[in-house]
Structure 1
């Protein structure tokens, strides 16, 4: 119950009248949100793991955050979760945990890392690709595993040794595919469709 409340509070923090007014008035943006939700649902369905709850999969939320902003990325993640509930074995009681640890927290981390990069690093095309997209995505993917591992430990589901050997260890391995997928997607978009990426500003990143 308390996970549901936390998920609701986190999503409520994303609600913004101006953002949703623009979403409702622009069909192309609506298409983008639904397409992103479908892609996230497919990514989250491809997972591996030895023990129950300790699933490893690519998040893809850093790219979604850079493309649509953190508010609409959270909306897409919510829709992706609902798709998984409707068409897979994921239950409604498992949805809040999925949203908190796979979507909302990683999205908030992604956006805040982007803000740090934007304010403190040179605004350059390659800085955006390799730092904002590639390195930040890898860091967020690793952080998700570590945070989830801490949550399972506090719940008493597994001891530290089990978590270290069967879950947290994979943070070292998963950061690269997470970084590669997000980095490649953002590279393609800002090369051929830069106007689709909300956080990429042509005048700042290309006039260098």
Structure 2
């Protein structure tokens, strides 16, 4: 999923860069910066970003752009909301790019695929579930974290495949036979990691989840 430089047309890369900067600008402008006044929250934000840099550096691949690693976008969206999740993911992507694991010209496209798409999907999926389904702890864990994480990374993989296919980098047959099936395994791993992390935080550190409320998800249980 980490696109290197020189693989895709420059027009696409620069268009993605401009769009990514615009969306990140919206996130910065609309974020609730009062949250950063809490020193503990600052440490959690920076610690989460640093942890994801390590997770993203642990990857496996077969050809350029055809690699796999955990995302953590759903977890960050539930912890911080979509604005701070995008900021954290931008720091993560910047970190792995500095270490040579992604291309500078492809920075915007990588951010779109591995940050913006999964983070916005996860947060909006959470809002949809919050409106449509009962406020129950198990719904929060299994639907808005476990299922959402699996869907988010699958969506990320499909988007990457569409880009590679549309611009003729690899054939459709090769992508569907040698790349897409592995996202089923990645989706399970992403869901398991996210579900476990959310459960632990909801039980022991609920203040680390801006989308979680003891009163709403626990006090309303029958």
Q: Is the pair's TM-score, using the shorter chain for normalization, greater than 0.5?
A: yes
1:133 paired residue number: 145
Tell me the CA shift for residue 18 of structure 1: 5.5
1:68 aligns with 2:83: no
Tell me the CA shift for residue 36 of structure 1: 1.5
1: CA distance, partners of 2:37 / 2:23:
25
Tell me the CA shift for residue 25 of structure 1: 2.6
2: CA distance, partners of 1:52 / 1:196:
36
1:183 aligns with 2:187: no
Preserved contact between residue 63 and residue 182 of structure 1 (Cα < 8 Å): yes
1: CA distance, partners of 2:125 / 2:74:
10
- CA distance 1:185–1:24, shift in 2 (3 Å): closer
2: CA distance, partners of 1:100 / 1:131:
24
1:104 aligns with 2:107: no
Q: TM-score, normalised by structure 2?
A: 0.88
Which moved further from structure 2: 2-11 or 86-95? 86-95
Q: TM-score, normalised by structure 1?
A: 0.94
Tell me the CA shift for residue 23 of structure 1: 4.2
Q: CA-to-partner distance for each residue in 1:129-154, whole Å, 9 max, x for gaps?
A: 11111111111111111111001111
Preserved contact between residue 143 and residue 171 of structure 1 (Cα < 8 Å): no
1:151 aligns with 2:163: yes
Match for 2:62 among 17, 31, 50? 50
1:11 aligns with 2:21: no
1: CA distance, partners of 2:209 / 2:88:
15
1:35 aligns with 2:34: no
Tell me the CA shift for residue 107 of structure 1: 0.1
Q: CA-to-partner distance for each residue in 1:165-189, whole Å, 9 max, x for gaps?
A: 1211222222110100000000010
CA-based RMSD of the aligned residues comes to: 1.4
Which moved further from structure 2: 45-54 or 92-101? 92-101
2: CA distance, partners of 1:109 / 1:17:
18
Preserved contact between residue 62 and residue 136 of structure 1 (Cα < 8 Å): yes
Match for 2:38 among 7, 19, 26? 26
1: CA distance, partners of 2:191 / 2:73:
11
- CA distance 1:147–1:196, shift in 2 (3 Å): same
Q: Which runs of 5+ in 1 are unaligned?
A: none
